[in-house]
């Protein structure tokens, strides 16, 4: 039985005391799958898996009907299909998910400016300042759930608590489509019956180590001296888990956390040793990274490539540019040079990735032309491509080298 299955689902009643509980964790329920079902309502109530089919595809999302068979995110698609062969497989539509995510985040920001996105489908909110305008935290949580359902036709689960850690556990426990308030004076009572694997920072290996010590629940962990935990798990990890076991989490909701890097990577369906194919993929990834930079109002100075061999050995190379950029062509040229410098021509690669680091806000970066240097025109061309994509959808405009030739209407 999985750790999630061990935690019972609870939904708060209207009488729960949310005094001193300004922190909300809002988590969309099976987000990608729920968005897809808006266009495929006939699949509601059936097992559905979102992900790329094939030997190397992974599960991005799954309906709760599929999860009952043990399917979960990041699982290899081949395993998911063995567990739930009757599931419907839907390829991901990232543009559609991004549009809904932006709308959901707009709902959050209409409630409070104190929003800390964790992913496209979840965020922490501090609604302490919204009490006078919108009511108690539980009331705000109910309002958010109603607005998400009415505007997008999907559901979310909300944990309400005195800290981020407990709010996140609460939202997980009331999934799907639930709302759970953990009163400030009831944190220990809520935490201690939970399996120890529910704690942040307890992965499979740490859980195995704790189970060997006879620690099965959070309450068991709380009764172990912190010196013992530090000896067994390391000083930092032991102290961290000891604090969480008593509900101590001093972290505040931090809005507008700046991106530290923006990247994209691709795992090939079969290992590739053709340099031309790899360079073409580097171009596609550079286009994607540059578009994300421009969409977020960023430029970056450091280009990094990830090259994973067939034996899973991973090599990374990076170079810092003279000027920060958001131009795909400049990123691509540097990525190709880094690939060449890695001396992996004719070496079979399983995965390639491109990432931009050392990000700056675009308005804070002014590019200086050297004497006699002329603008290349790439920046203007790529911004025109952004407008075309925004109007006509992904793939409307792309470099000629990324367009697959056709013969009598058939992709070659």
Residue 101 near residue 152 (C-beta atoms within 8 A) = no
Report yes or no: 60 and 36 within 8 Å, Cβ to Cβ.
Answer: no
**Nearest to 36, CA basis, from 91, 116, 110:** 91
Tokens of 177: 């489509």
Residues 6 or more apart whose Cβ sits within 8 Å of residue 151: 103, 107
Contacts of 260 (CB under 8 A, 6+ apart): 357, 359
* Spatial CB neighbours of 225, under 8 Å, sequence gap ≥ 6: none
* Alpha carbon distance, N-terminus to C-terminus of the chain: 46
Residue 411 assigned as binding residue? no
Strands 179-181 vs 156-161: parallel, antiparallel or unpaired: parallel
Catalytic residue among 116, 122, 287, 382: 122
Element (H, E) at 269: strand 261-272
3-state secondary structure of 278: helix
Whole-angstrom distance, CA of residue 195 vs CA of residue 202:
11
Region of 37 (left: φ > 0; alpha: ψ -120 to 50; beta: rest) is alpha
Please tell me whether the peptide bond between 176 and the residue prior to it is cis, using omega within 30 degrees of 0.
yes
Map residue 137 onto helix, strand or coil: helix
Is 122 one of the annotated active-site residues of the chain? yes
Q: Which candidate, 100, 103, 102, 131, places its Cα nearest to that of 24?
A: 131
Strand arrangement, sheet containing 59-62: 59-62, 48-51, 88-90
The token pair at 161 is 């608590």
Tell me the C-alpha distance between 118 and 208, whole Å.
27
291 neighbors 388 (Cβ within 8 angstroms): no
Tell me the two tokens of residue 222.
């709380």
Q: Is 185 annotated among the ligand-binding residues?
A: no
Residues in a beta bridge with 302: 320, 357
Catalytically annotated residues? 122
Query: Which segments are annotated as binding site for Mg(2+)?
Result: 27, 121
Query: Which segments are annotated as binding site?
Result: 27, 121
């Amino acid at each position: 039985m999985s750790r999630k299955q061990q935690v019972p689902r609870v939904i708060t009643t209207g009488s729960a005391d949310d005094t001193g509980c300004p922190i909300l964790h809002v988590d969309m329920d099976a987000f990608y799958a729920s968005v897809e079902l808006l266009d495929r309502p006939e699949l509601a109530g059936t097992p559905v898996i979102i992900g790329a089919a094939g030997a190397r595809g992974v599960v991005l999302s799954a309906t709760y009907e599929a999860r009952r068979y043990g399917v979960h995110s990041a699982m290899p698609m081949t395993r998911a299909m063995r567990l739930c062969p009757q599931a419907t497989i839907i390829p991901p539509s990232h543009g559609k998910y991004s549009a809904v995510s932006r709308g959901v985040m707009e709902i959050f920001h209409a409630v409070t400016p104190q929003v800390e996105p964790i992913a496209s489908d979840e965020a922490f909110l501090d609604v302490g300042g919204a009490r006078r305008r919108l009511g108690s935290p539980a009331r705000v949580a109910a309002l958010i759930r109603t607005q998400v359902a009415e505007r997008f036709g999907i559901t979310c689960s909300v944990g309400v608590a005195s800290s981020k850690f407990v709010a996140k556990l609460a939202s997980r426990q009331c999934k799907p489509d639930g709302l759970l308030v953990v009163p400030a004076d009831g944190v220990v009572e809520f935490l201690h019956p939970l399996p120890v694997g529910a704690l942040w920072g307890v992965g499979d290996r740490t859980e195995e180590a704790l189970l060997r010590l006879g620690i099965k629940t959070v309450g068991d962990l709380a009764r172990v001296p912190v010196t013992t935990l530090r000896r067994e798990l390391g000083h930092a990890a032991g102290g961290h888990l000891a604090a969480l076991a008593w509900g101590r989490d001093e972290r505040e909701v931090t809005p507008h956390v700046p991106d530290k890097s923006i990247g994209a990577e691709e795992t090939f369906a079969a290992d590739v040793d053709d340099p031309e194919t790899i360079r073409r993929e580097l171009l596609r990834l550079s286009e994607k990274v540059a578009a994300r930079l421009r969409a977020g109002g960023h430029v970056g100075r450091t280009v990094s490539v990830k090259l994973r061999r067939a034996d899973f050995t991973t090599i990374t190379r990076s170079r810092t540019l003279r000027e920060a950029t958001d131009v795909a062509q400049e990123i691509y040229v540097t990525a190709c040079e880094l690939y060449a410098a890695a001396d992996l021509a004719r070496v079979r690669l399983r995965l390639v990735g491109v990432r931009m680091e050392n990000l700056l806000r675009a308005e804070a970066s002014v590019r200086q032309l050297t004497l006699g240097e002329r603008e290349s025109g790439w920046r203007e061309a790529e911004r025109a491509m952004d407008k075309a994509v925004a109007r006509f959808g992904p793939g409307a405009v792309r470099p000629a080298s990324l367009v697959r030739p056709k013969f009598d209407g058939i992709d070659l």
